[in-house]
Structure 1
Amino acid sequence: MSLEQQLIERLQQLTPSHLEVVNESSGHGGYFPGKESHFKAVIVSEAFAGLRLVQRHQKVYAAAGDLLGPGHIHALAIHAFLPEEWQGQAAPSPECAHAPKAE
């Protein structure tokens, strides 16, 4: 099972009303077809009620568990919202300084 699919399954424990996981590995240095190292997760869940941003991120890290670390997911951009905060807004990721350069 791919890392992306494993991450999706792990994040389901937060009972999201919206979950989007995007493999952004191709925009980072050292990319090769099939590489899974950089992801973005947009998560909308009541599980974040009463939590500050850092606590929301900690909750997501806990759900991802051992998928984060050497040989697995190198970077995870987290966009965590409560349902009343979510308006379907775009959640862009920053450019990577080591991204392959367009020719």
Structure 2
Amino acid sequence: MSLQQQLIENLNSLSPSHLEVINESSGHGGYYPGKESHFKVVIVSEAFEGLRAVQRHQKVYACTQNLLSAGGGHIHALALHTYVPSEWVGRVPESPNCAHAPKG
């Protein structure tokens, strides 16, 4: 099973009303076809109600620690965009360009 699919399965434990897991590995240095190392997560969940951003991120990390580099996994970077339903405007934030991205 791909890392992207494993992320989705782990994050479903937060009962999201919206979930996007985007593999952004191709925009980073050292990329090769099929590499999974950099992801952007956009998640909307009632589980974040009343929590500050850092607390929301901690909830996500708790669900995904087995996939992150420090936890023995292979995900190097995880950009998190966490919302409660009343905050969600339906737009995925743009990601900045990586300084080490392959040059076209």
- Scaled by the length of structure 2, what TM-score is found? 0.94
Q: Which runs of 4+ in 1 moved over 6 A?
A: none
How far is 1:71 from its partner? 5.2
Residue of structure 1 equivalent to 2:50:
50
Deviations 1:11-55 (A, max 9, x none): 000000000000000000000000000000000000001100011
Amino acid at match of 1:42: V
Distance across 2 between alignment mates of 1:24 and 1:79: 14
Aligned CA RMSD, in angstroms, stands at: 1.0
Deviation at 1:85, TM superposition (A): 0.3
The corresponding residue for 1:29 is: 29
Shift of the 71–12 alpha-carbon distance from structure 1 to 2, 3 Å rule, reads closer
Q: Please, which runs of 5 or more residues in structure 2 have no aligned partner?
A: none
Aligned to 1:19: 19
Aligned partners of 1:14 and 1:91: how far apart in 2?
Answer: 21
Is residue 2:85 matched to residue 1:83?
A: yes
Secondary structure of the 2:66 match is helix
| Percent identical | 73
| Matched residue, 1:101 | 103
Structure 1: 5+ residue stretches without partners: none
70-79 or 26-35: bigger deviation: 70-79
Is the Cα–Cα contact under 8 Å of residues 66 and 73 in structure 2 kept in the other structure?
A: no
Return the alpha-carbon distance in structure 2 between the equivalents of residues 67 and 90 of structure 1. Answer: 23
TM-score (norm 1): 0.95
Aligned length: 102
1:67 aligns with 2:43: no
Worse overlay, 45-54 or 86-95: 86-95
Aligned: 1:2 with 2:5: no
